[in-house]
């Protein structure tokens, strides 16, 4: 193997396959060695998890095996260290084999390989016992990097070879195993199914074996490769052409292959990133308009006049005026730059100022983007880039909200104190505008190489309206459709975390499909699939409904490029004006179905979300019909866009941006995944502190998002259980938000969000430190007024089953509604044989009217304080447990309603109504002292000026 040593001669030659063999053997030895040692020495300890142990769980997980105990941990760390040398060499050789001049992909894959190796060292040498957070960060980084590593190596594998087949098998097996892996992990973590962790552990080990096997395939590629060591500096690259050259030559005409068939350019990537960020700001400002408008009818309790600003988006009608159209298209950076008012609106101190800023931003954004599309109508590659940037901007907005617990960090209701990134958003906007300002100005009225558009511009505009409304109402937040299909505990469907990442992934897949196969996406077959998805989303629940949601998601993003490309064939002043005007009508329709009690003629569309969905798909169908009129039969039947080198080159950079966003969403899903190991505040006395609060949709008196202030008060009040009312914000007018995610994650509580946004209520929610064993959602009788939601949940409180009811009754004006609702919920409470708590909004005075139905033998419930005469809306009732305390805490400027709190002890009789001094109450059953006197941040004990305690 080593010829005679002499100057300039070969010292040693090492077959490339030896590198792969060394890596594979060392890696398998590390895992299997730790497994054998661990099972031999600490078997019962490493199969134990937080819920069960041996014999229910009998197979150890990878993390428990390699990181929990000595000496198996040391065995693994020693042998995995041995793999590092061969690993780096393997990445280097793989780069040498696949690299060619001007190709970016091999460099990218090599960089990912190096990064992945270092992250492997991270989770190896920082175990979950040493540092749980650091271990998880390294692990998620490794798993995220596995995606481009796997896809990149498959893309670089020679066509028709054994290595390509093996990589496809092992890669597909790896990703397919993630499905049962996730399923059984959720079964263990959320449902606590005995034995589920054992099955999860088996899947986890199989994933490890497939991961190592995928890398072992390089032995096939390296069969003709040697490392030659001489005493002369340098490395011989050989004269044979790279394998990748042959592959790209064979694959260059395929759509996916076209993406990477261009020399990588950092300036071009920066251009794509800048355009995408401008798309992100458009969607951020547009989605911020609804929540700023909503503030005014919310506080006026009716129409305020400010609602007219929802029409800010009709500005495209100005494009029907020739001089203005030419100005808008020629000076596009200026037109788009003026939308900065929407980002700067957070600087305004008054709600009216914030609304004005956002309205201006929407006006200019909705003028600029249609002008940009229209200006590039004769240049397919540039038009596609604009559409891609606008669409990926929506995805970026959804990712930003996913990362920020459904609040967009650049909205005007955000600031540094509640998680806002407004200054950063403004700075990035300035950089993006400066970047796109380098482009030469366009003339929207220059001669274009387009055939005359066929059909009516109205149809194209109606299609845009349906598309805009669907994208905004369903996809501006990744959890909206998940809330549509949520039906309570036990969990039978998707959760906002982690499954919000699935929605974002479906958006990305849809857009890629629409870019590569626009002729298929624009057809009736795709429209039919989207309509079926819409029907399942509207009519079904749990996983069935969510599968429909994902189908609809893919369709909406897929049809976006062809829908906009068709619309720009027509005069923009008509087409885009019709689109945004009808979109606004749909926004009002979307609000009217639940706000019918407060708007003129609202009863005509009461509770008809199904009508909204049908109308949306019919509008999109108009656009599909118009698009097919303007495409030739030959192009309609094609599954591949016509060759366009410029489009192929620029398209690749938007795919990179899209991939980065997808990896970000996966990382966010991992980081935000709940721990489900929540602890009550006073388990030593079996105390349960429960509260009821009407949160006014998490908008405070100053038009700021109030979740952080709410979280502080709930934490300081030491609430184990809380019912939230007026909590459903998953509509355009409320920003498509979900405050329960922020509160549940930050406070460490289980959450049931109650009846979904398609149930036409203002919402109620339950947060609990105790596991929610079962919950059912109710829409109580409301023949005249608004729908009244209720939750009936059973909690596991210190081993005893306790029922909790959360309920929001109808308004004062609807007397018959409230009578029927009272009877309905009374029957629910009376039918429960378990100790119970009612956390409610009851429009009645104490000891009058419906109060006497609630507090009666029929319900079995008692008032927490019968002597408290100064109540009107919020009431706490209970039965079957000891009530020890009651307090009323002022709201400050968070909402319009106080927080009412009760303390109970599980497993003790109800007791009497006799009030006792605090000195006779054990320390752990007392309310916090910080709310006495002036309190903190405007929160204090009021009405009685102190808590009340009972014998």
- Domain stop point among 668, 696, 718: 668
| Residue 740 · residue 697 · CB < 8 Å | no
Better pLDDT: 635 or 510: 510
Q: Is the pLDDT of residue 647 over 60?
A: no
674 lies in some domain:
no
Work out the average pLDDT over 193-207. Answer: 85
- Domain stop point among 210, 245, 280: 245
| Residue 82 · residue 26 · CB < 8 Å | yes
Q: Is the pLDDT of residue 13 over 80?
A: no
Among this protein's residues, is 778 annotated catalytic? no
Write the DSSP symbol of residue 236. Answer: -
1 lies in some domain:
no
Instruction: For residue range 285-296, list pLDDT tens digits in order.
Output: 999 999 999 999
The helix-helix angle for 380-403 and 351-375 (nearest 10°) equals: 150
169 plus 241 within the same structural domain: yes
Q: Please tell me the predicted confidence (pLDDT) of residue 450.
A: 60
What gap in Å lies between CA 951 and CA 946, rounded to an integer? 17
365 plus 428 within the same structural domain: yes
593 lies in some domain:
yes
What gap in Å lies between CA 914 and CA 890, rounded to an integer? 25
Instruction: For residue range 499-536, list pLDDT tens digits in order.
Output: 999 999 999 999 999 999 998 999 999 999 999 999 99
808 plus 885 within the same structural domain: yes
Q: Please tell me the predicted confidence (pLDDT) of residue 641.
A: 45
Work out the average pLDDT over 87-110. Answer: 78
Among 23, 808, 939, 942, the one annotated catalytic: 808
609 plus 734 within the same structural domain: no
Residue 463: give the domain boundaries.
266-668
Q: Please tell me the predicted confidence (pLDDT) of residue 445.
A: 54
Work out the average pLDDT over 449-468. Answer: 87
632 plus 730 within the same structural domain: no
Better pLDDT: 666 or 770: 770
| Residue 691 · residue 768 · CB < 8 Å | no
Q: Is the pLDDT of residue 255 over 90?
A: no
| Mean confidence (pLDDT) of the chain | 87
| Most trustworthy range by pLDDT among 150-154, 238-242, 496-500 | 496-500
Q: Is the pLDDT of residue 332 over 50?
A: yes
521 plus 547 within the same structural domain: yes
870 lies in some domain:
yes
pLDDT > 70 in the chain, percent = 91
Q: Is the pLDDT of residue 719 over 50?
A: yes
Instruction: For residue range 352-396, list pLDDT tens digits in order.
Output: 999 999 999 999 999 999 999 999 888 888 899 999 999 999 999
Instruction: For residue range 927-948, list pLDDT tens digits in order.
Output: 999 999 999 999 999 999 999 9
Beta carbons within 8 Å of 732's beta carbon, 6+ residues apart: 287, 290, 472, 473, 476, 587, 590, 591
Q: Please tell me the predicted confidence (pLDDT) of residue 117.
A: 83
Work out the average pLDDT over 205-224. Answer: 81
Q: Is the pLDDT of residue 238 over 60?
A: no
End-to-end CA distance of the chain: 91
pLDDT band at 632 (very low <50, low <70, confident <90, very high): low
Q: Is the pLDDT of residue 252 over 60?
A: no
492 lies in some domain:
yes
Strand partners, 841: 808, 874
90's enclosing H/E stretch is helix 72-98
pLDDT band at 67 (very low <50, low <70, confident <90, very high): confident
- Domain stop point among 668, 693, 709: 668
Query: Which among 755, 751, 753 is positioned nearest to 768, based on CA atoms?
Result: 751
Q: Please tell me the predicted confidence (pLDDT) of residue 525.
A: 93
Work out the average pLDDT over 861-881. Answer: 93
Q: Please tell me the predicted confidence (pLDDT) of residue 244.
A: 44
228 plus 366 within the same structural domain: no
pLDDT band at 200 (very low <50, low <70, confident <90, very high): confident
Task: Name the strands in the sheet holding 899-905, side by side, starting at the edge strand that comes first in the sequence.
Answer: 750-752, 764-768, 721-725, 687-694, 899-905, 882-889, 948-950, 915-916
Instruction: For residue range 648-684, list pLDDT tens digits in order.
Output: 667 888 998 998 998 899 889 888 888 888 999 999 9
911 plus 773 within the same structural domain: yes
Q: How many domains does the chain have?
A: 3
Work out the average pLDDT over 852-858. Answer: 92
254 lies in some domain:
no
Residue 930 has, within 13 A of its CA and on its CB side, a CA count of 10
400's enclosing H/E stretch is helix 380-403
Query: Which among 868, 497, 860 is positioned nearest to 671, based on CA atoms?
Result: 497
Q: Is the pLDDT of residue 635 over 50?
A: no
678 lies in some domain:
no
Instruction: For residue range 577-619, list pLDDT tens digits in order.
Output: 999 999 999 999 999 999 888 888 888 899 999 999 999 999 9
Q: Could you tell me where the beta strands, DSSP code E, fall in 758-812?
A: 764-768, 772-780, 788-797, 800-808
Work out the average pLDDT over 618-635. Answer: 83
Work out the average pLDDT over 215-219. Answer: 82
CATH number, position 396:
1.20.1250
291 plus 189 within the same structural domain: no
pLDDT band at 259 (very low <50, low <70, confident <90, very high): low
Q: Is the pLDDT of residue 8 over 60?
A: no
Q: Please tell me the predicted confidence (pLDDT) of residue 886.
A: 97
What gap in Å lies between CA 492 and CA 538, rounded to an integer? 17
535, 553, 940 from 471: Cα distances, Å: 16, 8, 43
695 plus 646 within the same structural domain: no
| Residue 80 · residue 26 · CB < 8 Å | yes
659 plus 693 within the same structural domain: no
638 lies in some domain:
yes
CATH number, position 785:
3.60.10.10
217 plus 292 within the same structural domain: no
Q: Is the pLDDT of residue 645 over 80?
A: no
């Amino acid at each position: 193997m080593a010829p005679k040593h002499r100057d300039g001669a070969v010292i040693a030659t090492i077959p490339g396959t030896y590198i792969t063999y060394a890596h594979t053997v060392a890696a398998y030895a590390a895992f299997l060695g730790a497994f054998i040692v661990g099972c031999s020495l600490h078997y019962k300890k490493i199969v134990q998890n937080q819920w069960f142990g041996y014999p229910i769980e009998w197979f150890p997980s990878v993390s428990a095996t390699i990181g929990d105990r000595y000496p198996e941990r040391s065995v693994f760390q020693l042998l995995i260290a041995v793999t590092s040398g061969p690993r780096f060499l393997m990445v280097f050789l793989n780069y040498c084999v696949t690299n060619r001049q001007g190709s970016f992909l091999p460099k990218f894959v090599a960089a990912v390989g190096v990064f992945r190796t270092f992250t492997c060292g991270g989770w190896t040498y920082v175990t979950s016992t040493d540092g749980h957070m650091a271990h998880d960060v390294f692990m998620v980084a490794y798993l995220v990097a596995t995606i481009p590593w796997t896809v990149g190596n498959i893309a670089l594998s020679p066509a028709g070879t054994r290595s390509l087949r093996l990589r496809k098998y092992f890669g597909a097996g790896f990703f397919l195993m993630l499905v049962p892996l996730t399923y059984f992990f959720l079964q263990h973590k959320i449902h606590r199914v005995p034995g589920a962790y054992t099955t999860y552990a088996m899947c986890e080990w199989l994933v490890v074996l497939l991961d190592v096997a995928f890398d072992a395939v390089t032995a096939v590629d390296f069969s003709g490769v040697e490392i030659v060591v001489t005493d002369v500096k340098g490395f011989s690259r050989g004269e044979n052409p790279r394998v990748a050259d042959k592959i790209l030559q064979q694959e260059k005409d395929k759509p996916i292959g076209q993406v990477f068939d261009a020399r990588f350019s950092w300036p071009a990537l920066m251009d794509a990133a800048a355009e995408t960020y401008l798309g992100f700001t458009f969607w951020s400002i547009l989605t911020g308009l609804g929540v700023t408008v909503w503030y005014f009818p919310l506080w006026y309790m009716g129409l305020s006049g400010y609602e007219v600003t929802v029409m800010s988006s009709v500005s495209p009608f100005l494009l029907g005026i020739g001089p203005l159209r030419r100005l808008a298209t020629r000076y596009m950076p200026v037109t788009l730059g003026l939308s900065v008012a929407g980002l700067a609106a957070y600087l305004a101190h008054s709600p009216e100022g914030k609304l004005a800023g956002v309205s201006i931003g929407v006006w200019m954004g909705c003028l600029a983007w249609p002008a940009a599309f229209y200006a590039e109508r004769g240049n397919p590659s540039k038009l596609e880039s604009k559409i891609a940037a606008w669409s990926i901007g929506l995805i970026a907005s959804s990712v930003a909200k996913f990362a920020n617990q459904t609040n967009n960090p650049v909205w005007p209701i955000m600031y540094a104190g509640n998680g806002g990134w407004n200054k950063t958003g403004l700075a990035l906007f300035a950089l993006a505008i400066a970047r796109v300002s380098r482009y030469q100005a366009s003339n929207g009225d220059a001669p274009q190489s387009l055939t005359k558009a066929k059909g009516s511009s109205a149809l194209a505009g109606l299609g845009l309206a349906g598309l805009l409304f669907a994208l905004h109402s369903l996809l501006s937040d990744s959890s909206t459709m998940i809330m549509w299909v949520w039906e309570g505990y036990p969990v039978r469907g998707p959760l906002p975390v982690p499954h919000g990442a699935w929605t974002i992934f479906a958006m990305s897949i849809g857009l890629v499909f629409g870019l590569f196969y626009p002729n298929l996406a624009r057809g009736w077959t795709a429209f039919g699939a989207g309509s079926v998805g819409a029907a399942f989303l509207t009519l079904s629940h749990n996983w069935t409904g969510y599968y429909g949601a994902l189908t609809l998601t893919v369709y909406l993003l897929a049809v976006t490029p062809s829908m906009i490309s068709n619309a720009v064939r027509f005069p923009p002043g008509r087409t885009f004006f019709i689109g945004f005007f009808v979109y606004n009508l749909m926004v009002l329709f979307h609000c009217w179905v639940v706000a019918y009690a407060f708007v003129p003629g609202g009863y005509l569309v009461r509770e008809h979300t199904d009508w909204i969905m049908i109308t949306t798909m019919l509008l999109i169908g108009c656009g599909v019909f118009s698009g097919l009129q303007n495409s030739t039969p030959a192009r309609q039947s094609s599954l591949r866009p016509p060759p366009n080198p410029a489009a192929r080159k620029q398209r690749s950079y938007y795919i990179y941006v899209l991939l980065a966003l997808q990896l970000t969403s996966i990382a966010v899903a991992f980081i935000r995944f709940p721990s489900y190991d929540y602890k009550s505040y006073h388990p030593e006395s079996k105390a349960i502190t429960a509260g009821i609060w009407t949160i006014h949709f998490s908008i405070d008196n100053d038009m700021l998002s109030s979740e952080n202030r709410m979280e502080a008060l709930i934490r300081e009040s030491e609430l184990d259980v809380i019912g939230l009312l007026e909590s459903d914000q998953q509509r355009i007018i409320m920003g498509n938000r979900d405050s329960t995610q922020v509160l549940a994650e930050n406070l460490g509580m289980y959450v049931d969000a109650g009846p979904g946004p398609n149930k036409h209520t203002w919402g109620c929610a339950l947060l609990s430190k105790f596991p929610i064993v079962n919950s059912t959602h109710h829409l109580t009788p409301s023949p005249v007024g608004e729908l009244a939601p209720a939750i009936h949940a059973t909690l596991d409180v210190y081993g005893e089953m306790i029922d909790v009811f959360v309920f929001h009754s109808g308004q004062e004006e609807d007397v018959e509604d409230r009578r029927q609702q009272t009877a309905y919920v009374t029957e629910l409470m009376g039918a429960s044989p378990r100790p119970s708590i009612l956390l409610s909004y009851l429009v009645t005075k104490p000891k009058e009217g419906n109060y006497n139905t609630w507090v009666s033998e029929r319900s079995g419930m008692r008032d927490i304080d019968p002597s408290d005469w100064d109540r009107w809306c919020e009431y706490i009732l209970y039965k079957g447990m000891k009530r020890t305390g009651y307090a009323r805490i002022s709201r400050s400027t968070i909402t319009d309603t106080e927080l009412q709190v009760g303390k109970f002890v599980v497993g003790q009789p109800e007791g009497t109504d006799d009030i006792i001094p605090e000195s006779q109450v054990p320390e752990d059953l007392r309310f916090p002292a910080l709310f006495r006197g002036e309190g903190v941040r405007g929160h204090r004990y009021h009405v009685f000026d102190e808590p009340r305690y009972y014998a």
